[in-house]
Structure 1
Amino acid sequence: MNVLVLGATGYIGSAVVDRLVHAGHRVTAVSRSAAGAALPTGVVAVPGDLQDPQAIAALVTDDIDAVVHTAAPLGEAELPLIDALADALAGSGRPLLWTSGVWVLGRTGDTPADEDSPVAPIAITGPRARIEARVLAAAERDVRAVVVRPGVVHGRGVGIPAMLVDWARTLGHGRWVGGATSPRWPLVDVEDLAELYVLASTGASAGTVLHGIAEPGVPAEALARAAATGAGVEPTAVAWPEAEAAADLGAPFAEALGLDQVVTAERARALGWVPTRPSAVDDLATGSYARVTA
């Protein structure tokens, strides 16, 4: 396949590009910085502004077999982009994979949320529920539309977990957002997640939602302690009340970090997806984050 990857130089996008190339696919990489980015040999780099939907849709030539959107959320601006790509792909049966996230599910409590659970978006997700619905509606136009909802992504020493390491290094101990009871985070290694995109591009059915979750619900306190270990400080952690965190981080982000979720990925695993990378706790304590801070 020749896969058009939007947001190809970002955290998730760069891993997806790597895995697609490793699997033998051709890649056309699109991002604002794609032309000057360090991309794998053979990848065609194309600069593009995702807020210019018609220009992006014009890249969907007959030679493009699938479109994968991994770029940072643009809010309402994603809706016209989805429409333009759906127009370009209509009637072809070609895949359109769109990245969302599990925060759209809201607080789950002790009942695990699966791909069929109702959404209850929190503030930071903005119009993401509408965006997902618009993507999935493209299936009615013979587009193999698929929404991928990653959990909190770790790996390569970056992402939200890197913030936990920075806090630990600054404070001398770990810290998580919440109260006396630690929230739980669904997690996935970025390399495992990238393999799910490759599987979905070739095997997921139209109108499908897939959860990219390797660990359904890891206590944020455990992650914070592991981050302290990785930072080389006292391997303890304390709660940071959400109201206090909101003053520094903004209320929407603080709410997201304090969100208690347990999320499963049965449909992704039914595709044959088997995450194999180290756990987030191990990655923070002795893996990619420890190497970064060493």
Structure 2
Amino acid sequence: MNVLVLGATGYIGAAVTERLVAAGHRVTAASRSAGPATVPAGATPVAVDLTDPAAVAALVTDDVDTVVHAAAPLGDADLPLVEALAGTGRPLLWTSGIWVLGRTGGADEDAPVAPIAIVGPRRRVEENVLAAGGVVLRPGVVHGRGGGSIPGLLVAWAQQLGHGRWVGGDESPRWPMVHVDDLADLYLLALTAARPGTVLHGVTEPGVRAGELARAAARGQGAEATAVAWPEADAATELGAPFAEALGLDQVVTADRARALGWSPGRPGAADDLATGSYVPAG
């Protein structure tokens, strides 16, 4: 299969590109910064402005079988891109995220969405992708390979403060988590096994307490293995209200449909990864 991956130099996109190449697929790796030194080995790099729908659609040549959008969402600017890609007639796998579900004590792939402010436009984007017969994949908070913006934030706080920190009240919020390599496995599976017009959740741990993750990050950085709450109102002054709301969002999310496809993730859990795995400084 010849796959066009958009956002192929990003955290998720690079892992997905590597997995597709390893499975024997031909991959065109597209992003603004794509080049031989920035895309995974075995993929063909193409530089493109992902905010230009016509330029992206032009990459969908006759030999492209399917398109994977693994880039960071652009908000309302994603809507014309979805329309342009839908017009190519190729299957589309679109990356969204679990924040579109809002606060939830348990949500599978059929749960209604209630997006928080930072991901407000994703409802319309998802609807358009599904209406065009595409597949929407919603990852949880992604960790692994020592990367990811949110795990990186926990690590930075531990280094700066000498202990862990989370956003919220005395009882820390729960975050659905997924290892980036398990997530890449799901993308590969979704290309061949997911039904058109469906949603998949990329979640391996339905709801891990942010406080537990903050303590694990502190332990991994050699800091005091404790964590304290950072009230959302205080966090908003530094991080901005939308992001602070997202970090304080309590969610439990399952991946029933993804598991039914045969997805069987097995990489380390997020707390272990932060405390003793890929986030621990070398030496």
Structure 1-normalised TM-score?
A: 0.94
- Partners of 1:148 and 1:166 lie apart in 2 by 28
> Which residue is equivalent to 1:49?
49
- Partners of 1:8 and 1:38 lie apart in 2 by 9
Asked if 1:153 is matched to 2:142, the reply is: yes
Q: CA deviation at 1:25?
A: 0.7
> Which residue is equivalent to 1:103?
99
Q: CA deviation at 1:230?
A: 0.9
- Partners of 2:138 and 2:115 lie apart in 1 by 13
- Partners of 1:171 and 1:51 lie apart in 2 by 38
Asked if 1:113 is matched to 2:103, the reply is: no
Give yes or no for contact 1:9–1:37 (8 Å, CA) kept in 2.
no
- Partners of 1:283 and 1:261 lie apart in 2 by 20
> Which residue is equivalent to 1:129?
123
What pairs with 1:140-289 in structure 2 (closer than 5 Å)?
Answer: 145-159=134-148, 160-289=150-279
Give yes or no for contact 2:14–2:40 (8 Å, CA) kept in 1.
no
Segments of structure 2 that go 5 or more residues without pairing to the other structure are none
> Any idea what SS the aligned residue of 1:285 has?
helix
After alignment, is 32-41 or 157-166 more displaced? 32-41
> Any idea what SS the aligned residue of 1:117 has?
coil
Detail structure 1 runs of 4+ shifted over 6 Å in the superposition: none
**Aligned residue identity for 2:81:** L
How many residues end up aligned between the 2 structures? 282
> Any idea what SS the aligned residue of 1:288 has?
coil
**Aligned residue identity for 1:262:** V
CA deviation string 1:19-58 (max 9, x = no partner) = 0011111100000111254333331100011111111111
- Partners of 2:41 and 2:49 lie apart in 1 by 23
Structure 2-normalised TM-score?
A: 0.98
**Aligned residue identity for 1:23:** A
**Aligned residue identity for 1:60:** V
**Aligned residue identity for 2:175:** W
Q: CA deviation at 1:72?
A: 0.9
- Partners of 1:40 and 1:245 lie apart in 2 by 36
> Any idea what SS the aligned residue of 1:115 has?
coil
Q: What is the CA RMSD across the aligned residues, in angstroms?
A: 1.0
Q: CA deviation at 1:133?
A: 0.3
- Partners of 1:158 and 1:177 lie apart in 2 by 20
Give yes or no for contact 1:6–1:13 (8 Å, CA) kept in 2.
yes
